[in-house]
Amino acid sequence: MSQHLDAYPELERDLNFYPLGVKNPTVLSPVQIDRYNDHGYLFPIQVFDDREIIEIREYFDALLPQALAAGWNSYEMINWHKTCRGVYDVVTNSRILDVIQDLLGDTVILRHSHFFVKLPGDGKRVSWHQDSSYWPLSRSKVVSAWLAIDDSTIENGAMQVIPGSHKAAQIAFHDSEPEENNVLSQTVRDADRYGDAPVSLVLKAGEMSLHSDWTLHGSDVNQSEQRRCGLAMRFLSSDVQAYNGWNAHSVICRGQDPTGHWADHARPTGEQVPVKDNPESSMNDLVDSSGVGVDSTD
Ligand SMILES: O=C(O)CCC(=O)C(=O)O
């Protein structure tokens, strides 16, 4: 399979890495912000206490069977904040937003949300990749928060990152081979060439990690009997522009978008599982994901 350097050459995106951080952070320390910019990730960050995360997990335990019954697989629950009040309430939680605001500034926009649910025995991995490589956005200035809904361990396939890899910005990638069992569709080969030795982001339920959109990351197959559920939330500010309709699923969580470019979905009134074969809800969301179910260059 051939190697690619840019999934959207026609968009002429700004593919540089931009360090983030405000002058007077309120939650993160300046040292933590420097670490994020130097290493391309930060963890663990405590968000929910035991009681709170148990409540969130129970909510998710009830949502997952409904998703599967509606025909979604456990990696396809994308942008459900638009129709499920419980998901919306997590992605707009003020403790998460306080952290993100220390990196992005006063305007915080949730661009999309994505559950990555590794079920025991599902055999799926997430091959080494960079998020910006998939996304038709410019500038590349997105911070991802990954909230552990279950404990995330080495055995159940915790996410791994290559420290410092974000500084290279776009790295060449290949189309994933079927035998990789990749949830997504791009693979960066020999990932450890691009930074320090891989670090496993082992998290307790209720903690989250942050990673830059250029940080090389991935995760191995779940080898345990325990589910590994994480909710990835992608945040940006109004100085980022989306192409191909990727501005349609957002929530303006803090501040304002003077450009009027970003959608601002309201808090859902209840719990509505998206309909799988509805092009309005499903296909846009699939194309809007990190490449789930679409070709490598989507
Ligand atoms: O949950 C995983 O294993 C991978 C998540 C990921 O690729 C991401 O959040 O960008």
Of all protein residues, the one whose alpha carbon is nearest to atom 1 of ligand 1 is 116
Q: Do the beta carbons of residue 246 and residue 111 sit within 8 Å?
A: yes
DSSP-assigned beta bridge partners for residue 125: 182
**Ramachandran bin of 181, using left for φ above 0, alpha for ψ from -120 to 50, beta for the remaining angles:** left
Domain boundaries, the chain: 3-287
User: What is the rounded CA–CA span in Å between residue 215 and residue 229?
Assistant: 21
Of all protein residues, the one whose alpha carbon is nearest to atom 8 of ligand 1 is 232
- Whether ligand 1 lies within 6 angstroms of the CB of 230 is answered as yes
pTM for this entry = 0.95
- Whether ligand 1 lies within 6 angstroms of the CB of 291 is answered as no
146 Cα nearest atom in ligand 1: 9
Q: Do the beta carbons of residue 106 and residue 241 sit within 8 Å?
A: no
Whole-number Å distance, alpha carbon 127 to ligand 1 midpoint, is 9
- pLDDT tens digit string along 28-69? 999 999 999 999 999 999 999 999 999 999 999 999 999 999
Distance of CA 116 to the CA centre of its chain: 9
pLDDT band at 2 (very low <50, low <70, confident <90, very high): confident
Bond prior to 44 in cis (omega within 30° of 0): yes
Whole-number Å distance, alpha carbon 165 to ligand 1 midpoint, is 16
- Whether ligand 1 lies within 6 angstroms of the CB of 210 is answered as no
Q: Indicate whether 92 pLDDT > 50.
A: yes
The structural architecture, per CATH, of the domain 3-287 is Sandwich (2.60)
- Which residues contact residue 283 at a Cβ distance below 8 angstroms, ignoring those fewer than 6 apart? none
Whole-number Å distance, alpha carbon 149 to ligand 1 midpoint, is 13
DSSP-assigned beta bridge partners for residue 144: 211, 234
Q: How many helices (H) and strands (E) does the chain have?
A: 5, 15
User: What is the rounded CA–CA span in Å between residue 161 and residue 174?
Assistant: 18
